């Protein structure tokens, strides 16, 4: 036997990775057909993630099968007619056209999905995580309940990479997380018109998850409703025998107070990632950073819009090792973060600052010392092109307008950025991306 058949398996997989950089399933399927050995090697890669997104055929993408194909996968799982999905670790589930179209074939797929989804998910015996979204109509809420019940039977299941809900103003959520426990990852978001129905379920679930490592809550609420509080979300974790070793915490549109952090600090001592946005202003919020410093919590990634108290600067200047910093200051309350850059110059890889006005020469000098920076996000100013040219590893520069633009104003802004970008590419050899690929494609002469 000669050729690729004598190569070690890990070498074949590495070659497959180069041959299919986009991970397209068609290419992996072809490799799988080469031989029985290739089938055994490629199948875990090909079927590690499955997408049941039930897209309309007209919008089918190579990475997302249409609803007919999704229907076939559901049936195969429910009837245990294949073992290839034993390799599946991650599931993407979106109902797509199932509940927005009433054609005969879609109706048949919808009925079959409802009847078979429980057995199908139970067939994913090695599933670890799921990414799913539900509209909260009566039929889809019933499906959500079946999905949660099935996930609760899987000993391998670790949690939700994301679970989203969209609640029409006249409906309330009636599902329950009771079948679930021992999760390590839980990220929930969406439009909740009645968060008072969601938060108790979340609080109860967290009390059954002693090994939680990643937690994210990101709700969009009606302006007439009060935002949920961290106190309510953590109301039942006192039942846990041991403190969490929580590493990532994201709180968006959640009321966070000094007392909440102080009461639950034992669960936060292993945090490396923290994101707090859109939490109401509190005059004592800055003292949270003192609590972190006192407990030896050295975050590697921080995203926040609470910069009204300079205590956050003192905290960030108390240690080294930050890799990502995202600050969204308000115009009236802004502390320049340049003072913390020297402590993290050797490790910082991503920096996002909605810088109001022009940074000082000293601030720019500290910035260009951060030679590991690959991503930089700032408010638009030509000086950032010059700064970017001095950052040898910079891959992407995102320039935001100083004010919100829409319509023609947005086109004018994009055109101005494009003109500057063209000049720097032609005259200075600029080679990093600016404002994502869509802007790069708009430039003449680009491949």
User: Phi and psi at residue 165, in whole multiples of 5°?
Assistant: -130, 145
Q: What is the DSSP letter of 6?
A: G
Whole-number mean pLDDT of the chain?
82
Give the chain's end-to-end CA distance (angstroms, integer): 42
Q: Please give the model's pTM, rounded to 2 decimal places.
A: 0.86
Polymer length in residues for the chain:
447
Percent of the chain with pLDDT over 70: 78
Q: State pLDDT tens for residues 261-309.
A: 999 999 999 999 999 998 887 878 889 999 999 999 999 999 998 876 7
Task: Give 194 or 213, the one with higher predicted confidence.
Answer: 213
Q: In terms of C-beta density within 10 A (0-12 exposed, 13-18 middle, 19 or more buried), how is residue 441 classed?
A: exposed
Q: In terms of C-beta density within 10 A (0-12 exposed, 13-18 middle, 19 or more buried), how is residue 416 classed?
A: middle
Confidence at residue 383, expressed as pLDDT on a 0 to 100 scale: 84
Q: In terms of C-beta density within 10 A (0-12 exposed, 13-18 middle, 19 or more buried), how is residue 32 classed?
A: buried
Confidence at residue 62, expressed as pLDDT on a 0 to 100 scale: 44
Q: State pLDDT tens for residues 110-158.
A: 788 889 999 999 999 999 999 998 875 666 778 888 999 999 999 999 9
Name, in order, each residue with C-beta under 8 angstroms of 27's C-beta and a sequence gap of 6 or more: 19, 20
Confidence at residue 64, expressed as pLDDT on a 0 to 100 scale: 45
Give residue limits of the domains in the chain: 1-45
CA distance 183 to 209: 5
Q: State pLDDT tens for residues 350-401.
A: 999 876 666 778 888 889 999 999 999 988 778 888 899 999 999 999 988 8
Tokens representing 92 are 């993407």
Average pLDDT over residues 225-243: 91
Nearest Cα to 334, choosing from 351, 318, 357? Answer: 357
The alpha carbon of residue 269 and the mean position of all alpha carbons in its chain are separated, in whole angstroms, by 22
Q: Which helix (H) or strand (E) holds 383?
A: helix 383-389
Task: Give 80 or 40, the one with higher predicted confidence.
Answer: 80
CA distance 39 to 356: 56
Of 47-56, 108-117, 231-240, 308-317, which one has max mean pLDDT? 231-240
Name, in order, each residue with C-beta under 8 angstroms of 11's C-beta and a sequence gap of 6 or more: none
Confidence at residue 5, expressed as pLDDT on a 0 to 100 scale: 60
Q: State pLDDT tens for residues 318-339.
A: 999 999 999 886 545 555 667 7
């Amino acid at each position: 036997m000669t050729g690729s058949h004598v190569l070690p398996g890990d070498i074949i997989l590495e070659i497959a990775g180069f041959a299919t950089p986009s991970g397209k399933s068609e290419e992996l399927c072809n490799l799988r057909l080469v031989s029985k050995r290739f089938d055994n090697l490629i199948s875990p890669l090909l079927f590690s993630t499955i997408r049941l997104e039930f897209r309309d055929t007209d919008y089918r993408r190579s990475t997302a099968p249409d609803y007919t194909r999704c229907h076939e996968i559901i049936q195969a799982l429910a009837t245990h007619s294949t073992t290839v999905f034993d390799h599946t670790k991650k599931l993407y589930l979106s109902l797509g056209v199932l509940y927005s179209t009433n054609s005969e074939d879609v109706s048949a797929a919808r009925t079959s999905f409802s009847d078979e989804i429980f057995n199908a998910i139970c067939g994913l015996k090695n599933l670890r995580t799921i990414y799913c979204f539900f509209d909260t109509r009566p039929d889809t809420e019933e499906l959500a309940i079946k999905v949660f019940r099935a996930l609760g039977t899987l000993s391998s299941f670790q949690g939700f990479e994301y679970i989203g809900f969209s609640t029409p103003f006249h409906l309330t959520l009636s599902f329950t997380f009771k079948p679930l426990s021992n999760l390590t990852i839980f990220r929930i978001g969406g439009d909740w018109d009645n968060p008072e129905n969601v938060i108790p379920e979340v609080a109860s679930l967290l009390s059954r998850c002693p090994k939680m490592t990643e937690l994210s809550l990101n709700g969009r609420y009606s302006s007439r409703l009060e935002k949920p509080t961290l106190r309510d979300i953590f109301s039942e974790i006192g039942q846990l025998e041991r403190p969490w070793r929580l590493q990532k915490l994201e709180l968006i549109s959640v009321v966070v107070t000094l007392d909440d952090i102080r009461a639950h600090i034992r669960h936060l001592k292993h945090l490396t990632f923290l994101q707090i946005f859109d939490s109401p202003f509190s005059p004592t919020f800055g003292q949270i950073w003192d609590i972190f410093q006192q407990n030896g919590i050295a975050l590697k990634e921080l995203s926040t819009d609470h910069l009204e108290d300079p205590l956050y600067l003192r905290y960030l200047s108390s240690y080294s090792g930050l890799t990502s910093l995202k600050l969204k200051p308000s115009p009236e309350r802004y502390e320049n973060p340049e003072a913390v850059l020297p402590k993290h110059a050797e490790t910082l890889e991503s920096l996002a600052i909605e810088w109001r006005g022009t940074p000082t020469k000293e601030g720019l000098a500290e910035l260009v010392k951060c030679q590991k920076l690959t991503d930089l996000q700032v408010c638009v100013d030509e000086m950032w092109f010059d700064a970017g040219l001095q950052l040898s590893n910079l891959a992407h520069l995102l320039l935001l307008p100083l004010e919100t633009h829409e319509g023609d104003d947005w086109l004018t802004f994009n055109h101005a950025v494009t003109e500057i970008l063209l000049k720097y590419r032609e005259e200075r050899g600029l080679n990093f991306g600016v404002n994502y690929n869509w802007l790069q494609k708009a430039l003449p002469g680009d491949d």
